[in-house]
Amino acid sequence: MFSNEEHLDMIWESSGWDQFPCFEDALLTDRPLEECFGNNGIPVCYWPRDLDYDCCNHWLIIDLDFLNLDPREFFSRFQEAIRNCDNLRMITICGSADKMSYFGITGNKGRNSSKFASYIVGINSMRNAGPVVVETKAVLGRGPTKEIIHHNYV
């Protein structure tokens, strides 16, 4: 679900996910994404590490499996980040399908959540700096059948 078809090109322009195979490997092997960060490259904010930053520049990566917040506090901080950080262009939310579903970000089995899609549309409509692309990466399954289900919202 997308808020505006004119913004679809922003998904590919904003995402850096495919540039870092380590991210996908970390999700599939139940490791924190933080292990993929170094000292060089594009600047990213990573929750839980950078949860106390006032603003993120360009890309925020959220690792729900390692974030110790309840859904109410998570959505309060998430909404603040989108509304108040004019330089933020991309948010990637990762986690197990169970955790993503518990937070209401995806439906059962990693399916698209129309409620979350509407939520993103609403927040983006209140932004003065243009919309933020939100992508989700839900890990579904166990062992060799494990896969990552992707969704994008603008």
pTM, two decimal places = 0.84
| Three-state SS sequence of the chain | CCCCHHHCHHHHHHCCHHHCHHHHHHHHCCCCHHHHCCCCCCCEEEECCCCCCCCCCEEEEEEHHHCCCCHHHHHHHHHHHHHHCCCEEEEEEEEEHHHHHHCCCECHHHCECHHHHHHHHHHHHCCCCCCCEEEEEEEECCHHHCEEEEEEEC
What percent of the chain shows pLDDT beyond 70? 84
User: pLDDT tens, 37-94?
Assistant: 776 666 788 999 898 887 888 889 999 999 999 999 999 999 988 888 888 888 999 9
pLDDT tens track for 97-135:
999 999 999 987 888 888 998 899 888 888 888 888 899
User: What are the boundaries of each domain within the chain?
Assistant: 5-153
